[in-house]
Each structure stands twice: as structure tokens, then as C-alpha cells.
């Protein structure tokens, strides 16, 4: 009788199904995420294709000389002069000036928000920085032209500082990049475990010593990534330099005179009456392709730095 009962019980038992049940909401979200990633990659490939296709026409022109591009300091494609150094030099000048402003100020504000400020102060400063990041760059450009340039002319003399100059453009560009570096650096500092701070305080360290000697080195990978991304942002900035830096290539190391950056040159030339497949028209795409690979190179360096200096805590 017991055997019959056990047999019937075993027959009534159903095998336990451990397979994951399909959920419509998760499936839809996964599909949307996949589509977003695919769309981003597809868009990037499309940009590279269009830039490369038009830039190839420029490189195949009989007037183009690659050696002259690397050795000449005159950029006048319409007359057969392809020296990229005036545009590249002014781009690097504005970038260096911007980073000289954004890096120390950004690090200082991030350290204050992470280590010194109260939650109430942080809740006020963070939105203010976000507002700075949301201002249109054309507004920054006219701010550089109508405010920063007169200030520089009053400080250094009207005969020294021209109305259009790379110095004012670089200074205002530093203000533009400041929220980016501050936000990323503050996130990196806040990610450092609290136990490291408490151990340093237990050893007798002051708040400044803990911030500079413990927290800052521990967040080095995130800080380096923020700086490199800030440089990439400065290299690709357009409207500030287009409005305030000057029009026309000029190979100079003087930040108080006008000089045209790569992005500013693209804006000025593309706004003119250019015929398709002309030298000036194709040169725009060649410069755009150069900027694309420059920012791509900086982003690759950023990823390498993050992997090299990343600290993993348990």
C-alpha cells in the first residue's frame, strides 16, 4: 500500500522549471538599449564615411602637397598653400590657455565640494555649475568679445591687445570647460572609500593633508580622464573661437593678437559661397577629419590612463 501511495505521489510531482521567464518590459528595455548602442555606432561610422569621402577628394587634388602641409606656415588652399601650422598652433594656444584656467580651478572646486563643503553648500554649488555647462557657447563667445577683451585691453594696453585675440577666447573657454572637469573630478573623489580618509585621520592627518596626499592620488585615474576629456572638448570648441579669436590664419605665439583656429576656420569658410569640389570646400572636410581623429586619439588615451591608474577597493 505504501509503495502505491509513493508511486502516485511521484507521478503527481512536476519537474521544477528553473528557466528564466520572459518579461515583456525587460525585453523592450533591452531592445531599446541595443538600438541606442547600434544607432551611436552607425552614426559614428556615417560621420567618418562622409568626412573621409570628401577629404579624399582634397588629398587627391594635384595642388595638394603633404610635405608642404607639415613644413609651411601659410594656409591658403585657394592659391595652393596648405601649411596647417597656423590653424593648429592657434588651436593649441586656445586649448592650453583654457586648460590653464580649467584644471586648477576645477580641481580646487572639486576638492572643496568633496572634502570641505556641507550638504547644503553642495546642493547650491552643483546646480550653479550645471547652469554654466548649459549656457550656449555663442553666448560665451560674445562674453569673451564684449567683456573679457576689454578687460585685457585695460590691463595690458590697447596697443598690445587686439580686439580679436586668442587670449580672451582661451580664458572664456576655460570657464566653459570648468563644470565638466569639476563634475568628473568630484565624482572620482567621492568614489574613494571613506575608510581611507578615516585611516588617515586616525594617523593624525589634517583635512588638507588627507585631501591632497590620500584622496587625490587614489582618484588619479578619474582626474586624468576628466582632464583629457576637457582637452578634447577645448580642441573641438567652435563658437567661442569663431566670435572672439579672430578671422584669418595667423602663425603667432602671441595670445593678444587675432588668430584663427581649425574650428573657427571651418565656420568662416563654410559660411561663404563655395562651389562643390573646390579646393576650399574639400579642405573643410579634411580639417574636420583631422579634428575627428584628434579627439578620438585623446579619448583612447583617456581610456588607457583610466585602465593604467585605476584603483580597485574591496
Statement: residue 314 has pLDDT above 70: no
Tell me the pLDDT band of 92, cut-offs 50, 70 and 90. Answer: very high
* Mean predicted confidence (pLDDT) in 207-233: 86
Half-sphere exposure of 165 (CA within 13 A, CB side): 24
| CB neighbour burial string for 93-131, b if at least 16 within 10 angstroms, e if fewer | bbbebbbebbbebbbebbbbbbbebeeeeeeebbeebee
* Mean predicted confidence (pLDDT) in 173-181: 91
Instruction: Please state whether the predicted TM-score (pTM) of the whole model is above 0.85.
Output: no
* Mean predicted confidence (pLDDT) in 277-281: 78
DSSP symbols for 200-267: HHHTT--HHHHIIIIIHHHTHHHHHHHHHHHHHHHHH--HHHHHHT-SS------TTS----HHHHHH
The answer to whether 181 and 226 have CB atoms below 8 angstroms apart is: yes
The answer to whether 181 and 189 have CB atoms below 8 angstroms apart is: no
* Mean predicted confidence (pLDDT) in 132-158: 90
**Cell triple for 149:** 577683451
Please report the pLDDT score of residue 210 as a whole number: 85
Please report the pLDDT score of residue 152 as a whole number: 92
Arithmetic mean of pLDDT over the chain: 83
Q: For residue 75, report the phi and psi dihedrals to the nearest 5 degrees.
A: -115, 95
Please report the pLDDT score of residue 127 as a whole number: 83
Percent of the chain predicted with pLDDT > 90:
18
Residue found under cell 549656457:
135
Instruction: Report the C-alpha gap between 30 and 61 in whole angstroms.
Output: 47
The answer to whether 279 and 307 have CB atoms below 8 angstroms apart is: no
Please report the pLDDT score of residue 18 as a whole number: 58
The answer to whether 170 and 97 have CB atoms below 8 angstroms apart is: yes
Tell me the pLDDT band of 1, cut-offs 50, 70 and 90. Answer: low
Tell me the pLDDT band of 146, cut-offs 50, 70 and 90. Answer: very high
* Mean predicted confidence (pLDDT) in 172-184: 91
Report the Cα 301 to chain-centroid distance in Å.
12
Instruction: Report the C-alpha gap between 12 and 52 in whole angstroms.
Output: 68
Kindly report, residue by residue over 2-46, the tens digit of the pLDDT: 555 455 545 555 555 556 666 777 888 888 988 988 888 888 888
Please report the pLDDT score of residue 96 as a whole number: 93
Please report the pLDDT score of residue 12 as a whole number: 53
The domain segmentation of the chain, as residue ranges, is 87-309
Please report the pLDDT score of residue 19 as a whole number: 64
Percent of the chain predicted with pLDDT > 70:
90
Instruction: Report the C-alpha gap between 181 and 188 in whole angstroms.
Output: 11
Specify whether domain 87-309 bears CATH 1.10.3720.10: yes
Tell me the pLDDT band of 151, cut-offs 50, 70 and 90. Answer: very high
* Helices 85-111/220-236 angle, 10° precision: 140
Instruction: Report the C-alpha gap between 298 and 290 in whole angstroms.
Output: 12
* Mean predicted confidence (pLDDT) in 133-145: 89
Strand partners, 82: 75
Residues 6+ apart with CB under 8 A from 47: 292
Statement: residue 301 has pLDDT above 60: yes
Statement: residue 65 has pLDDT above 80: no
Please report the pLDDT score of residue 208 as a whole number: 84
Statement: residue 102 has pLDDT above 90: yes
The answer to whether 206 and 116 have CB atoms below 8 angstroms apart is: no
Residues 6+ apart with CB under 8 A from 210: 115, 197, 200, 201
Kindly report, residue by residue over 41-58, the tens digit of the pLDDT: 888 888 888 888 888 888
Amino acid at each position: 500500500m505504501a509503495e502505491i501511495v509513493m508511486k502516485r505521489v511521484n507521478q503527481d510531482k512536476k519537474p521544477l522549471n528553473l528557466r528564466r521567464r520572459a518579461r515583456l518590459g525587460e525585453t523592450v528595455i533591452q531592445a531599446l538599449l541595443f538600438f541606442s548602442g547600434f544607432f551611436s555606432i552607425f552614426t559614428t561610422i556615417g560621420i567618418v564615411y562622409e568626412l573621409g569621402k570628401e577629404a579624399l577628394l582634397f588629398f587627391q587634388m594635384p595642388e595638394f602637397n603633404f610635405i608642404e602641409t607639415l613644413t609651411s606656415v601659410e594656409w591658403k588652399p585657394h592659391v595652393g598653400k596648405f601649411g596647417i601650422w597656423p590653424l593648429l598652433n592657434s588651436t593649441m594656444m586656445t586649448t592650453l590657455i583654457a586648460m590653464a584656467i580649467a584644471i586648477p580651478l576645477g580641481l580646487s572646486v572639486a576638492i572643496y565640494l568633496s572634502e570641505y563643503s556641507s550638504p547644503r553648500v553642495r546642493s547650491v554649488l552643483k546646480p550653479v555649475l550645471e547652469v554654466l555647462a548649459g549656457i550656449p557657447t555663442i553666448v560665451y563667445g560674445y562674453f569673451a568679445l564684449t567683456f573679457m577683451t576689454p578687460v585685457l585691453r585695460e590691463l595690458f594696453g590697447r596697443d598690445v591687445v587686439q580686439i580679436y585675440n586668442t587670449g580672451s577666447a582661451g580664458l572664456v573657454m576655460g570657464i566653459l570647460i570648468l563644470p565638466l572637469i569639476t563634475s568628473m573630478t568630484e565624482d572620482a573623489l567621492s568614489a574613494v572609500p571613506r575608510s581611507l580618509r578615516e585611516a588617515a585621520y586616525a594617523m593624525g592627518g589634517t583635512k588638507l593633508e588627507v585631501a591632497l596626499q590620500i584622496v587625490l592620488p587614489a582618484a588619479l585615474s578619474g582626474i586624468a580622464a576628466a582632464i583629457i576629456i576637457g582637452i578634447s572638448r577645448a580642441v573641438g570648441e567652435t563658437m567661442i573661437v569663431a566670435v572672439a579669436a579672430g578671422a584669418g590664419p595667423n602663425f603667432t605665439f602671441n595670445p593678444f593678437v587675432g588668430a584663427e583656429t581649425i574650428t573657427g576656420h571651418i565656420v568662416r569658410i563654410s559660411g561663404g559661397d563655395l562651389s562643390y569640389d573646390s579646393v576650399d570646400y574639400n579642405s573643410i572636410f579634411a580639417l574636420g577629419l583631422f579634428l575627428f581623429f584628434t579627439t578620438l586619439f585623446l579619448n583612447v588615451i583617456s581610456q588607457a590612463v583610466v585602465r593604467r591608474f585605476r584603483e580597485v577597493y574591496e
